Chains A and B, each alone.
Chain A
Amino acid sequence: MAKYVVTGTNVTLNGEDLSSNCARAELVISAAEVDTTDFGSGGFTEVIGGLKSGQISLDFHSDFGAGAVSRTFQDLVGTIGTVTLIAGNGTAASAETPEYTSEVLINSFTPVSGAVGDLSTFSVTFPTSGEISYSTGV
C-alpha cells in the first residue's frame, strides 16, 4: 500500500456502524514514561516504557433519526463500549487495512451543538480501557 488520503475510516460502536455520520477518527496509543535516571546517567534523564494507555477521538454529524448516532450515544454516557476502527479506507481487516478494537469509557456526549446556519456536529474523546487489539484479518 502507498500513502493514502483518508476517505473512509470504518467506525463502529457496540457493533453499530457509525461511519456515515463520522468525519474524523483518531486513535492514540501511548506508554507512560518511567524515570530511571541515576548517578550513572551522565547528566541526562533516562526513561523506560511503563503502562500503556489509549485515547479515541471522533467527530460526528448529529442525527436523531431512528438508530442514528445521536440516539446511539444518548444512553451510553458512563458505560463501557466497544469501538472498532478500520484504517486505510478499508471495510474489512487486512494487512493494509488493519482493524483496531478497544473498550472505551464513554465519559461524555454533546447532544446539542452548533451555531445558526452550521451543520450540527459533535466531538467525543474517550479513554480506552484494557488492551487495544490489532487485527489484520488473518
Chain B
Amino acid sequence: MVDITTVRQKIAENIGTITGLRTSAELIDNPSPPIALVALDSVDYHNDFGNGVVLSFSVSVIVGRSAERTMQRKLDAYISPEGAQSVKAGIESNRSLDGTVDDLVCPGVSNVGSITINDQTYLAAEFQITVYA
C-alpha cells in the first residue's frame, strides 16, 4: 500500500535537487519564495485488481514579485523541460521515488502567472504530476 506522505516527501526531495529552490512537502501559510509546494489534488482507486492507485499531485512553484524581469526569467528556467533549473527534470529525476511507487510523470504546467499571497503578488506556475502506485 502506498504511503501518500512518503510520496509527497520524495517528490519534494526530487525537486530539492534544484539549486536555490526551497521545497515543502505540504502547503504552508507563509511561503518564502522561491519555493515549490507539493499538494495532492486527487486519487483514483481501483486502477488494477491489486488495489493500485493513480495519484494526481500539483507542485506550485512561486518565484517572487511578478513585476520583476529577473523573476520572469527565473520562472522560464523552472518551466524549461530540461536543464539544471528545470522543475520537470527534477520531478522526473527519480521516477520510482526510491521504489515507493511504480512510476510518475510530469505531463505539463498550468496556471502560469500571478498569484496573491498575503497581499503580495507573486509570479508562479503549477506543475502537474501523475503517480502510478
Residues of A within 8 A of B (CB): 7-11, 19-23, 25, 61, 63, 117, 119
Contact = CB atoms under 8 A, between A and B. Distances in A.
In the complex, which range does the number of interface residues on chain B fall in? Answer: 10 to 19
| B-side interface mostly | loop
Given A63-B102, A119-B132, A22 B49 contact: yes
A21 B105 contact: no
Given A61-B52, A117-B107, A119-B132, A7 B46 contact: yes
A21 B48 contact: yes
| A-side interface mostly | mixed
Contacts, number: 36
A9 B52 contact: no
B107 A8 contact: no
A23 B49 contact: yes
A11 B105 contact: no
Contacts of B105: 117
A124 to B, nearest CB: 15
Contacts of B51: 7-8, 20
Contact of B49 (A9, A63, A117, A119): A9
Contacts of B47: 23, 61
